[in-house]
Amino acid sequence: MNHHVLLSSIGALAQSPASIGFIDFHRRWSPAWNDFSSSTLDARPLLVSLPGPDEHLQVVPDFLFYSVFGKLHRDGRYDRCVKIFSTQENFRAPWGECDYALTGDYSSDPRHLRYPVYASELFSVRNSPPLRHPCLSLVKDPSTDWSDVLAYKTSFCNFIYSNEAWRDPRTAGESGLELRIQFFELLSKYKQVEAGGRVRNNLGYQVQDKLPHIERFKFTIAFENTCYPGYVTEKLVDPMFVHSVPIYWGSPELVDDFNPESMVVATGRRLEDIVDEVVALDQDDDAYLAKLRQPWFHANTPNQYCRREYLASFLTEIYSRGPRQ
């Protein structure tokens, strides 16, 4: 059984590798290939410790990335590690337990990097199933035939959620769990909204490949679990990847990340007013096409959080300080 995997680019082979490991991440997390490991390979090789049958790392690394899906990181064997906290949930950095943190929060603490969930999603979609009109970089191609995009959208709106109205007590901010169900029911009075998750499922099956499924919809209900400054997840960018206009409820600081004119912004508004806007866009092709032409990013240029060097510089600096003495 392999205990490590060595990752490197040709240009970085001459340098000594940084010893890292990942623990307490989601079960689909790849310890050998993810946005954290790939971002720094041009600067420094990585020796990634792999988990054993008991899920503990077989070799204790110098730098331990950990998340919220377990408590293995608290085991005494990792006490000497430099601990880097990361989460895709709306949790605060557990200072006192970690040395550094990457979350969606705004913070001036030099130990913290604002790294929104959607930035990680940009890495994940690179191996997406085939799509008719992909926009996987979220940069809109100015030569796009938007009438063709609209013609492909033969369905009205989708709603894909599997999280019922249960909320983790560690989260902060206003809950969107019940609010999005209320909106789903209200919008469904106008036209059927196809629900392909466990919540309010009306398809008779659960959607497996999300992006190819939602590509044919004009709109996607994209309500976050909670409304909290900076907490912007894959719920927003997944419809963006396939030019489905998001109906977004979530971070009140959305304008820092994306162009609000490219979507229907629901945050802070009456549900009835949001429905009226969606209905108006659905009934007016010119207005809908004008919305589609709006770039996702301001000036159609990726924001800093989506640039590889943004994450790489933070992590490279941590590695350069060396392991705990």
CATH of the domain at 28: 3.40.50.11650
Q: Residues 197, 159: contact at Cβ < 8 Å?
A: yes
Question: Is 58 among the domain residues?
Answer: yes
Please check whether residues 23 and 172 belong to one and the same domain: no
* pLDDT 10s digits, 27-67: 889 998 899 999 998 888 999 999 999 999 999 999 999 99
Q: Above 90 in pLDDT, residue 224?
A: yes
Q: What is the pLDDT of residue 172?
A: 77
Residues 241 and 157 in one domain: yes
Q: Which pLDDT tens digit goes with each residue over 139-152?
A: 999 999 999 999 99
What the block records as the tokens of 112 is: 């913290």
Contacts of residue 244, defined as CB under 8 A and 6 or more positions apart, other chains included, come to 153, 158, 214, 215, 217, 218, 219, 220
* Domain range enclosing 137: 128-294
**Per mean pLDDT, which range of 23-27, 38-42, 253-257 is the poorest?**
38-42
Residue 167 pLDDT class (50, 70, 90 cuts):
low
Q: How far apart are CA 66 and CA 86, in angstroms?
A: 6
**φ, ψ dihedrals at 31, nearest 5°:** -70, -25
Number of structural domains the chain divides into: 2
Asked whether residue 121 is domain-assigned, the answer is no
Q: Which CATH number is 267's domain given? A: 3.40.50.11660
166 pLDDT exceeds 60? no
What is the rounded distance in angstroms from the CA atom of residue 116 to the CA atom of residue 267? 18
Domain shared by 164 and 187, yes or no:
yes
Residue 155 has pLDDT above 70, yes or no: yes
Q: What residues have CB less than 8 Å from 279, skipping those under 6 apart?
A: 190
Q: Is the domain of 46 the same as that of 152?
A: no
Does 182 share its domain with 107? no
Confidence label for 10 from pLDDT (cuts 50, 70 and 90) = low
Looking at residue 75, its pLDDT comes to 98
Domain contains 262? yes
pLDDT of residue 163: 78
Would you say 144 and 251 are in contact if contact means Cβ atoms under 8 Å apart?
Answer: no
Verify that 106 and 218 share a domain, yes or no: no
Q: Confidence band (pLDDT; 50, 70, 90) for 218?
A: very high
Count other Cβ atoms within 10 Å, centred on residue 262. Answer: 23
User: Vertex 19, ends 13 and 20: CA angle to 5°?
Assistant: 120
User: Does residue 302 sit within a domain?
Assistant: no
Is 102 within a domain? yes
Per-residue pLDDT for 176 more than 70? yes
Contact indicator for 164, 199 with CB cutoff of 8 Å: yes
Do both 30 and 144 map to the same domain?
no
Residue 94: what pLDDT? 97
**Amino acid symbol at 159:** F
